Amino acid sequence: MGMTLRSLFFICMFSALHKAWNIDLSILIGAILFPKSWRKIRYDLSVLVLSLSLLLLLRDYESWRYWYPFEIHAEFSTIIAAGRGLFSAHISEVAIGDYHHFLQAILLGQKEHLDTETYELFRSLGIAHVLAISGFHIGFWVICMRPLFYWAKSPINRIWTLMVQFFILYSYAILVGGSASVLRAVWMFFFARFAAIRHSATSSLHFPMLVAIGHYFVNPQAPQSISFQLSYTAVFAILLVLKRNKAEQLLLQYSYKVNSSSGKWFFVPVQISLAAWSATLPLVQGTFGGSSTYFLAGNLLVVPLITFMIWAGIPLLTLGRVLPDCAKEWYAFAWKQVINAAERLLFFLEKLS
């Protein structure tokens, strides 16, 4: 099963990318056969025949999907748009100052409300990725919803609650624009949690492969976008780094309870940042013509502060209408201090260089 999934993943991605990158067919053959190159020759030949046949079929499929794209039902889109408006209005009601604009950017993807100076500061420190709705945001909502489903203990109840969670998360993914990163995170969460409920020993790398294949069949043009390539490159790199690490399940299911008192957990965010940055650096350099030289300092020193401000916003979002104005002013003040600290850090780094 794993070999079939990996082969199908390579074929689908090759079919989508070979025109843009002029990839030689021998690379695809090597990618498919190398993991099992010691098998019998008739097995390898059957894989090659099936792969080439599938490539020919995918060419017609891509053309058909181009003329008949997948579209979300109009009524569902209307409901999502209304929900987006209500959530945005709620943020505007409970938050004030620049923190209000930050919450709209970080939770709804409305980066146009963020002032130019702040966005450029994020880019200079190499932390603009926190504004892209991705797996971090899905994990945020999963953890927020966890108390609502704590009662689900039996496998059947856990499956039903998973379906409810998936519907909520998928609606949120569409609400914030349905980017490759957020859709990948939602579907990976669903498959990983389902596998955990069924006690399946599925390799963690198979989840993004399965989601990427599904993404391709919905939209064969998706793998050609830089957001798709950055998202999947980063998640594959992270999973490879965290292989057989307890944090691997935390990343996949957002449900692992940290019970280790050792200091090794401190290095997990460092591993994740370095893995994602190192793997995506060639893409970033080739597409955008460069990357921030202060990426590591920004992610290690500023991102934790931003993460704190996101989690600290939960009481404001849930109780904001009854909180006194002084509490809202505290949030605005705290966010300003975070920005000031980031500016001082950037100034210090530029002086050093």
* Residue 323, domain member (yes or no): no
- The CA-atom distances, in angstroms, between 11 and each of 5, 32, 71 are 10, 8, 25
What percentage of the chain has pLDDT greater than the value 70?
86
The phi and psi torsions of 198 (rounded to 5 degrees) equal -85, 0
Q: According to the model, what pLDDT value does residue 34 have?
A: 66
Whether 177 and 133 have beta carbons less than 8 Å apart is answered as yes
The two three-digit tokens of residue 337, written as one number:
């201090």
Q: According to the model, what pLDDT value does residue 167 have?
A: 92
* Residue 40, domain member (yes or no): yes
* Residue 184, domain member (yes or no): no
- Total count of domains within the chain: 1
* Residue 21, domain member (yes or no): yes
264: confidence class by pLDDT, cuts 50, 70, 90: low
Q: According to the model, what pLDDT value does residue 254 have?
A: 64
* Residue 173, domain member (yes or no): no
Between 231 and 31, residue with greater pLDDT? 231
pLDDT in tens, 83-116: 889 999 999 999 998 999 999 999 988 888 788 8
Asked if pLDDT for residue 229 goes beyond 80, the answer is yes
Whether 332 and 96 have beta carbons less than 8 Å apart is answered as yes
Between 130 and 340, residue with greater pLDDT? 340
Please provide the average confidence, as pLDDT, over all residues in the chain: 83
DSSP alpha helix (H) spans, the chain? 2-21, 25-33, 41-67, 74-94, 97-108, 116-124, 135-145, 155-175, 180-197, 206-218, 226-241, 247-253, 268-288, 295-297, 303-319, 325-352
Q: According to the model, what pLDDT value does residue 99 have?
A: 94
Q: What is the SS3 assignment for 174-204?
A: HHCCCCHHHHHHHHHHHHHHHHHHCCCCCCC
Q: Which domain holds residue 50?
A: 2-67
* Residue 50, domain member (yes or no): yes
The two three-digit tokens of residue 208, written as one number:
């993004």
* Residue 51, domain member (yes or no): yes
Whether 205 and 166 have beta carbons less than 8 Å apart is answered as no
pLDDT in tens, 163-206: 999 999 998 998 888 888 899 999 999 998 898 888 887 888 88
CA distance 124 to 115: 15
246: confidence class by pLDDT, cuts 50, 70, 90: low
Rg (CA), the chain: 22
343: confidence class by pLDDT, cuts 50, 70, 90: very high
- The CA-atom distances, in angstroms, between 192 and each of 47, 186, 205, 290, 293 are 28, 10, 10, 35, 35
pLDDT in tens, 32-42: 766 655 566 67
Q: According to the model, what pLDDT value does residue 122 have?
A: 92
CA quadruple 333, 334, 337, 339: dihedral sign: negative
* Residue 45, domain member (yes or no): yes
Q: According to the model, what pLDDT value does residue 255 have?
A: 55
Q: According to the model, what pLDDT value does residue 118 have?
A: 92
Crossing angle of the two packed helices 74-94 and 155-175, in degrees rounded to 10: 80
Asked if pLDDT for residue 223 goes beyond 60, the answer is yes
pLDDT in tens, 271-324: 777 787 788 888 887 777 677 788 888 888 898 899 889 989 989 988 888 888
Cα 93 to its chain centre, rounded Å, is 28
262: confidence class by pLDDT, cuts 50, 70, 90: very low
